[in-house]
């Protein structure tokens, strides 16, 4: 089965990879990294679309069952439909974080999206997160779900509408990366090595500005 991990990946960082590793290794899914060309909710991109795609490929090419896709989409429903059509898939999982999932009712055609795809909800594992998640499922009238409430359990999905996956907490974000660039902090602990080397050269040449 396939998990869709969409994002701007500006740039891709170790937090993104940790999510992907957890989903791949514990749920036995292939991971499709779907790079967005634009996101109307975010500020101007740090890197061009082509650079982000290049770095995405650098970061994942040595890892099995990771694939990079160029997808010109804004809304999740459009991405899901396109990938299902392009790859002739009847069933896929859409990977997202808990905070994002809790805003699902604000997403374009969210009821249709719930029919088109299953979800993997990656949570940092606080007790209150699970309680909020369960209450939200009740509000959506969703009864088909599986909770993996530790960092180790492996599970083969059985077509549950929602899988809650507790993952280790890595406090890394694209915003953190950009602020570290702005303040000339070392990015090495937060980026895949090849991505780090690429950005380090751009910074040293004065070609990367926040």
Q: Tell which residue, 108, 197, 199, has the closest CA to residue 208.
A: 199
pTM for this one?
A: 0.91
% of the chain exceeding 70 in pLDDT: 95
Instruction: Report yes or no: 11 and 173 within 8 Å, Cβ to Cβ.
Output: no
Q: Does 210 score more than 70 pLDDT?
A: yes
The verdict on residue 182 lying in a domain is no
Q: How many folded domains does the chain comprise? A: 1
What CATH number did the domain enclosing 142 receive?
Answer: 3.40.50.620
The verdict on residue 204 lying in a domain is no
Computed on alpha carbons and rounded to an integer, the radius of gyration of the chain in Å comes to 17
Per-residue pLDDT, 128:
67
Contacts of 23 (CB under 8 A, 6+ apart): 3, 5, 29, 31, 93, 95, 120, 122, 165
Q: Tell which residue, 51, 49, 7, has the closest CA to residue 174.
A: 7
**How many residues in the chain?**
210
Supply the range of the domain harboring residue 56. Answer: 2-172
Per-residue pLDDT, 70:
87
Q: Does 146 score more than 90 pLDDT?
A: yes
């Amino acid at each position: 089965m396939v998990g869709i991990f969409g994002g701007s990946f500006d740039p891709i960082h170790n937090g993104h990879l940790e999510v992907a590793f957890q989903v791949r290794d514990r749920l036995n899914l292939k991971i499709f990294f779907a790079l967005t060309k634009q996101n109307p909710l975010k500020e101007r991109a740090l890197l061009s679309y082509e650079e982000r795609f290049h770095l995405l490929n650098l970061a994942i090419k040595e890892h099995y069952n990771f694939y990079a896709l160029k997808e010109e989409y804004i809304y999740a429903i459009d991405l899901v439909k396109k990938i299902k059509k392009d790859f002739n898939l009847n069933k896929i999982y859409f990977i997202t974080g808990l905070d994002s999932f809790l805003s699902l009712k604000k997403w374009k055609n969210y009821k249709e999206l719930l029919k088109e795809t299953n979800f993997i909800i990656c949570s940092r594992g606080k007790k209150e997160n699970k309680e909020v998640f369960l209450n939200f499922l009740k509000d959506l009238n969703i009864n088909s779900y599986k909770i993996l409430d530790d960092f180790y359990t492996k599970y083969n999905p059985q077509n549950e509408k929602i899988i809650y996956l507790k993952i280790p907490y890595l406090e890394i974000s694209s915003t953190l990366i950009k602020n570290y660039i702005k303040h000339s902090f070392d990015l090495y602990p937060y980026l895949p090595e090849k991505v780090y080397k690429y950005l380090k050269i751009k910074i040293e040449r004065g070609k990367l500005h926040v």
